[in-house]
Each structure stands twice: as structure tokens, then as C-alpha cells.
């Protein structure tokens, strides 16, 4: 599985867990901003810096997903392996 496919699977898993992942450009934020989880109007969101390299996006999302209870959900084996490595 290539990094882009992995990222899409990770985003899908986050969605199943109730968190929407949004890729956003932080270039014009005017403040030092990092990717991460937040709550917007009562909804869980994970804002991802669009300019990050693909592997860094995957690592960042894996760290977040490992904090959530995803063990009972079906996850493709390659994605499960990436999650295990990220612990």
C-alpha cells in the first residue's frame, strides 16, 4: 500500500470513529499552527497541515488514532500494521 492509500484508509478510520480529517493550508494563518485534534461546534475534527510530507501526515494521524478505541473495527491488515508500528 502506498503512503497516499494508507492516508486515505487512516482518514476513513478516523471518520468511523467520529472524527473528520480536514487538510488545510496553514501558510496564511499568521500564527505558528500544528496539525491536531480539535472540537468545532461540538464535532471532533483533525486539522492536517496540507504542506506536510505524506509520511509525516500518516505518522501524525496514526499517533492520534492510537489514542482512540479502534480495536473492534475492521481495519485492513496493512493499516493495522501501520497503527501497531506507531505505538
For 52-62, write each residue's pLDDT tens digit: 999 999 999 99
In degrees rounded to 5, what are phi and psi of residue 85? -65, -30
Distances (CA, A) of 18 to 12, 13, 26, 29, 45: 10, 9, 24, 26, 8
In tens, the pLDDT along 37-51 reads 999 999 999 999 999
What percentage of the chain has pLDDT greater than the value 70?
99
Answering whether pTM is above 0.85, one says yes
pLDDT value of residue 31: 74
> 53 with 2: CB under 8 angstroms?
no
- For the chain, the domains span 3-85
Place of cell 461546534: 41
> 73 with 47: CB under 8 angstroms?
no
Q: What is the DSSP letter of 52?
A: S
Amino acid at each position: 500500500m502506498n503512503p497516499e492509500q494508507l492516508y486515505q484508509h487512516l482518514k476513513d478510520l478516523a471518520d468511523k470513529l467520529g472524527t473528520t480529517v480536514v487538510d488545510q493550508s496553514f501558510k496564511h494563518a499568521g500564527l505558528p499552527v500544528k496539525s491536531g485534534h480539535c472540537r468545532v461546534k461540538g464535532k471532533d475534527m483533525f486539522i492536517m497541515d496540507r504542506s506536510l510530507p505524506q509520511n509525516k501526515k500518516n505518522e501524525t494521524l496514526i499517533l492520534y488514532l492510537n489514542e482512540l478505541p479502534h480495536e473492534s473495527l475492521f481495519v485492513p491488515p496493512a493499516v493495522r500494521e501501520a497503527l501497531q508500528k506507531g505505538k
